[in-house]
Structure 1
Amino acid sequence: MQQKIVLIGGPGTGKSSILKEFIKRGYKCMPEISREVTLKAQKEGIDQLFLEQPLLFSQLLLEGREQQYLEAHQSNEEIIFFDRGIPDVHAYMNYLGSDYPPVFKEKSNQYLYTKVFMCAPWKDIYKSDNERYETFEQSVKIDTFLKEAYEEIGYHIIEVPFGSVQERCDFILHSLKNNV
């Protein structure tokens, strides 16, 4: 049976670095797509789509994450890692206090992941850039909304300890092997 493993956490918690390491180790990974959506909007003259049109941004993310899930489902790979999952979309809308259509939560309940690993905010590795505008304090707050969204669906969240990227990957693989 295929395992769909999602990595969650606020911005700048090391998820993408962990995925890059999994790719080096030969695993199939689905990258974070929010940067892609943000950069495309910037080329179209919208500086921060997430801030200026959060619902449109979230709809585009939902579509992209659903496509990633469906692509993974068609794969013969035993383990596929995702940098963020579908429930992240409504978690961020909750963080913003914005209304969103019921389909956001419906998709979260329709497309389920096997396990959820959470990377907690870690000030030592946090960096902002052109696509990551959130402060570390905002990352901490977003983290609580993410945890809430996944737990609301019924996921057991496994916390990834701080450490080197290799140690964090080893922890995740060990957890999968031992069915933690």
Structure 2
Amino acid sequence: MFDYDDDFASLSELRERFVMISGCSGGGKSTLLEALALHGFAVQREPGRQIVREQLFIGGDALPWADAGGFLRLVLSRAMHQLAKAAASGRLTLFDRGLVDAYAGFRRAGAAVPAWAATAVAQLRYADTVFMAPPWPEIFVQDADRRHDFDAAEAEYHDLWAAYESLGYLLVELPRSDVESRVSFVVDRLGAP
């Protein structure tokens, strides 16, 4: 069982149990993860949304539109914690965004990438196959947590694709289809939980 007192390097032995779902903001990732959870998969919710809600609740300023660097540092830390939780569970776990997404976000925000962030991305890896939710204007909506428009979301998608690819991940685009078809698509590739 994983413990914070253990060496984080041991996570590399478990990485094929850590399945990433990334891609376009507003592309249906969270909805897909909710459906996969109902099918018995362990899931970790999007760390960025968690940080936004926490910061709004406490009146904090580590928000993507106020302090992008501070926000991304918190997201990286939360993503590391999620990996530790997944390792402790011993189960195949699906993630809604993670370390690479935050790492790529520094570049998009024009913020300096901390050296430790590059180390985290290099040493704490997910399974080789990453599912990518493509830009899909028909389902994209803005809300209190997602203030950017579709064009920004689409640019983010292409940036994330390049970031994951440059790190040696195999990218598989999710179909633009209803949730159950997407669930079947993922299950066909992963097997039952």
Instruction: Give me the TM-score of the superposition, normalised by structure 2.
Output: 0.86
Shift of 1:102: 1.6
Alignment check: 8 A CA contact 1:94 1:145 kept: no
The match for 2:151 is: 137
- Larger mean CA deviation between 13-22 and 50-59 belongs to 50-59
The match for 1:16 is: 30
Gapped runs of 5+ residues in structure 2? 1-13
The one-letter amino acid of 1:68's match is: Q
Shift of 1:97: 2.2
Alignment check: 8 A CA contact 2:62 2:68 kept: no
Alignment check: 8 A CA contact 2:47 2:98 kept: no
The match for 1:4 is: 18
Gapped runs of 5+ residues in structure 1? none
Shift of 1:76: 2.4
The match for 2:97 is: 84
Distance 2:18 2:181 in 1: 20
* Identity across the alignment (%): 28
The one-letter amino acid of 1:21's match is: A
The runs of 4+ residues in structure 1 deviating greater than 3 Å are: none
The match for 1:42 is: 56
Distance 2:137 2:96 in 1: 20
Shift of 1:99: 1.2
The match for 1:101 is: 114
The match for 1:69 is: 83
- Larger mean CA deviation between 134-143 and 46-55 belongs to 46-55
The one-letter amino acid of 1:51's match is: W
Alignment check: 8 A CA contact 1:11 1:134 kept: no
Distance 1:143 1:32 in 2: 15
Question: After superposition, what is the alpha-carbon deviation per residue over 1:57-76, rounded to whole angstroms, capped at 9, x for unaligned?
Answer: 01110010000001101112
Distance 1:175 1:69 in 2: 21
Task: Please tell me whether residue 156 in structure 1 is matched to residue 173 in structure 2.
Answer: no
Task: Please tell me whether residue 33 in structure 1 is matched to residue 47 in structure 2.
Answer: yes
> Any idea what SS the aligned residue of 2:126 has?
coil
The one-letter amino acid of 1:29's match is: V
Aligned residues: 176
Shift of 1:48: 7.1
- Larger mean CA deviation between 122-131 and 86-95 belongs to 86-95
